Amino acid sequence: MNESELRKIVKEEVERVLREGKIRDKLIEKAKTKADGIYSADGVIYRVKDNTLTHYADRGTILAVYGYFDTPVGSYKTGTEARKMLKNV
């Protein structure tokens, strides 16, 4: 792998992390007004419990929200599969 390829990979990863942070912040705000359940916004499926974002599904990965960190807890192939997984969390 040359330096150019490495820079491209790093740039893509930084953009991904920034995108996830913006999505996460938006979902946290939306969750504050939602009853317990599974919702979707901007193509991201998320789970709310006690007006708090607990998990969300984005680009094939189910993420659990723990403070400032998101932990991968599963993966999915379809939106239906993601909804089923979030209901069973």
**pLDDT (tens digit, 9 = 90+) per residue, 25-42?**
889 999 999 999 999 998
pLDDT at 21: 73
pLDDT at 54: 96
**For range 51-62, the mean pLDDT:** 93
Please state the pTM of the whole predicted model: 0.77
Domain that holds residue 67: 3-87
**Cα gap 83→62, rounded to integer Å:** 10
Instruction: Tell me the per-residue pLDDT of 58-78, one tens digit each, with 9 for 90 and over.
Output: 889 999 998 878 899 999 999
Task: Give the CA-trace dihedral at 75, 82, 52, 25, to 10 degrees.
Answer: 70
DSSP state of 60: T
Domains of the chain: total = 1
- pLDDT above 90 (res 6): no
